[in-house]
Structure 1
Amino acid sequence: MPPPPPHLRARSVAVDVTGDLLTRVPDEVDPREVVAWLREGDGMVGWGRAAVVRTAGVGRFEAAEAWWDQVRADAQVEDEVRLPGSGLVAFGSFAFSPRSGDESVLTVPRTLIGRRDGLAWVTQVVAGDEPWPAGHPAEMLARSNPHLGRLDPLVELPGTVPATDWPRVVARAVRRIGTGAVEKVVLARDVAVRHRDGDVVRVAPVLERLQARYGATWTFAVDGLVGATPEMLVRLQGGRARSRVLAGTIRRAEAAAASPVPPTPAGDHPTDPRLRLVRSVKDLDEHAYAVRSVAEALRPHCTDLQVPEDPYVLELPDVYHLASDLTGRMVSGATSLRLAAALHPSAAVCGTPTPAAAAVIEELEGMDRGRYAGPVGWVDGSGDGDWGIALRCGELAPDRRSLRIFAGGGIVAASDPRAELAETEVKLTAMRHALGLLPEQR
């Protein structure tokens, strides 16, 4: 069992915050203590640790939630803002597999700056009898990180399974599907990145580049896990639950080469390349598996569950995805963290049926995913919060001088191994760009 949490005191005050929230993250902060949850420039960034719990194994979610229940029950909170994300907030990320050697984490930052719908706040948290930081919370907003635009010199190395071997791994999965042992399996690979000079890799510049290029996604940082996920596992707010499912992908480069017509909503033009995605049996099957798994997990907790009959096409800078948004009214009383646990792992990151797909992943991938493809996000004192799936991301090593970046794809009977390798290369573009490993994008 985790040790008992400290007694926390938190206060949130309204402030005036303009510009980029990430510029307020001090450069000297330990990169593993930076937290972030940003979309289209709004959200939250913070640093420091007022309290933290690490869990592992099958009960990692339940142990973390029990810890959080005790923290929020014992805390003293002064919140003059009363918006989602103000008051006491914990950020978390969880290992994909209960057998992972990587611990899951739930952490309460000491300092948090938030902005939503034109309103902004600063939350400060102290433990026990610690004094409040000197000065008004708004004073820290006058500071700006002058080194935010400076990228660390990094070099890329082969991952656990070299790219040249990846098609063979996919082919083995396709053969396994052909036997009827599994309908779909999601396989992922990693790439190693290290600091050229052996120094600590800073995460604030990485987050800045992710936010600038992938603003429509959720840019996140928790305990050294950084990325920009397009997939909302679950959002719980005001008694409503929402989940965005992504499965089925086409590279934008392929789309651009396929047709000279300018981008238009899918289906508006007979030669629109996105029609390849919405008419692809392979991608539609992959998407249907993922939607069904999320709907089945939400039904025990929701009434009036709305499940779209057909997906839409979500545009990102590097790819198009098939997407579906599911919504429902909460009736079970579960927190957002408990919902995330119930939804993990969905078919979008594991496969169908789940136990068989998880076994194939463990057999064929050849690596420990760690917290890649696990839930990542935040939960507040009321139990509301946002939890995405940790995709398009990288995880710092304990020494903070190297990291692994990840990408994967859904494998079904019709999958082509070389096309699946190409898909992972495209998905790695987000982190390679953010780390400065690619030529500057257009």
Structure 2
Amino acid sequence: MKINRLPKDDKTNGWSAILPERQPKPSVQRDTSADWIVLGAGYAGLAAARRLAENCPDQRIVLIEAGHAGENASGRNSGFGIDLPHNVGSSLDELEGSHRFMRLARMAIDHLEESVQRHGIECDWTRDGKYHTAVSPRGTKDVLEPFVKELDALKEPFTWIEGDALRAKLGSDHFTAAVYTPGCVLMNPAALTRGLADNLPENVTLFENSPVTSAVFENGVQFTTPGGTVRASRLIMAANGFSEQFGFFPRRFLHLVAHASLSRRLTKAEQSAYGVDAAWGLTPVNAFAGITMRYTNDNRILIRQGLSYCPGQRVSVAEQAAVKRRHKALFDQRFPMLPEVEMEHTWSGIVCLSRNGAPGFGQLAPNIWSAVCQNAVGVTKGTFGGILAADMATGRDNPLIADMQSLGEPELLPHRPFLDLGVRARFQWELWTNRHEA
């Protein structure tokens, strides 16, 4: 089987650009064999490889990454480790579903935090919580007020903030109300991914810069890379949306692109004009029209805005230039006291979604398991998906596997071009009907 589309690093990731240079692990340079292959060194692959090493200490695990760890989608997100579902329902079944998700997400956060502390991973890991914010009275009524009722039903702590109090927290009067929840972790996602990749167990070998160009699934698994082949009897697929290229989950995944910009560091004078001392992160009540933002501990402001359909999983230079101009305009609207602050880095990340929000998790063949399709919550969903795929593959009893399976399976999508027309029409409808949250 020939692999026709490979990940491509355009060297624009701002999170890694502000870090010290890292020496990647060697690429595959000869034919090699192992007991296990894990494909993809994002959150799912890193967690799966680490758990396999724990479950099978006498077996050899090979982790294959097409590019550099930290430069893929895992290192390009907004750096939120989210512990709560974005949308909570009011029925008993929906509340139980929320409890299952929280168990999974908090297991993942604890796993990551233990690794960060054990290995001294410098990734700005802080349990700062997050603000779920509304711009308009309609957003407050339609989303924040029901959210508060469900948090009460879940017995989850929160703080309602609005008006001048919210302005003091965020340094902007653009937002009218917010619900603050304390369980979210903020970090530099590229630094976290790098750190996890550089501190793998001894029986895990990571090969970077080793794109798989062809695959054979007979008598085990054999992947061909530019430098040689890798063969193993068992595989955990953690290549997210690229798993389609290997024949898995056909017509199940939507590929979207999200754009982000990171400002230069604020000067002392600008920090004083801004007037906010503590780092924060916020998510919008509507992901299509709203903006995800952060103020980092090193005094930068992140904007993530712009979600669009991207079936080819590629973004042009011209599109990124247009995004940078748009993000600067949005920044100026929200922070008029900082007119000289430019967007130092602008980049894009490919997001893999399913129609029904379900992951691509479980056993695909007698010797193949998967942990893909994180539905835009990659830090936690990728991590717990990878851990549980490894437990399932090795027969380790873990009651959380049932929680994971309860999330369902990705639904079948229409054929293209009907899919393309439908998705683009839905996006336009979402933007129009939620324009009050822009």
Larger strand proportion of the pair: 1
- TM-score normalised to structure 2 length: 0.27
